[in-house]
Amino acid sequence: MRKLILPLVFVVAACQNKPKEPEVLTAPALEQKSETEKPKIALASDIDPVCMMSVKEEYSDTAMVDGKIYAFCGASCKEDFIKNPSAYLTDK
């Protein structure tokens, strides 16, 4: 009987110990930029020099000529501009 009492005391004592709640650690949220958000840059014009489409709100790509940055609505306009920038930069 004595052999059973001591293990029984240990079992009862062990069952009364509640497991600790897991500690929840929180890290500060990292600021993430949208993939579609373009960096704010000073454009030479708000108009695509090739097709004359507005690029003020949204543009596909840019190119730098003579220190000025020009925005384009699409890749084909940029390709045409790169081939001959002077044709598109003349005053009309």
Give residue limits of the domains in the chain: 40-92
CA dihedral (36, 71, 78, 50) positive or negative: positive
| pLDDT at position 75 over 60 | yes
Model pLDDT for residues 40-63, shown as the tens digit of each residue:
778 888 999 999 999 888 888 899
Question: What pLDDT was estimated at residue 32?
Answer: 64
Task: Provide the percentage of residues in the chain whose pLDDT is more than 70.
Answer: 68
pLDDT score of 25? 65
Are the beta carbons of 86 and 64 closer than 8 angstroms? no
Classify the phi-psi angles of 90: left when phi > 0, otherwise alpha if psi is within -120 to 50, otherwise beta: beta
Considering the chain, what is the average pLDDT of its residues?
79
Mean pLDDT of 8-16: 71
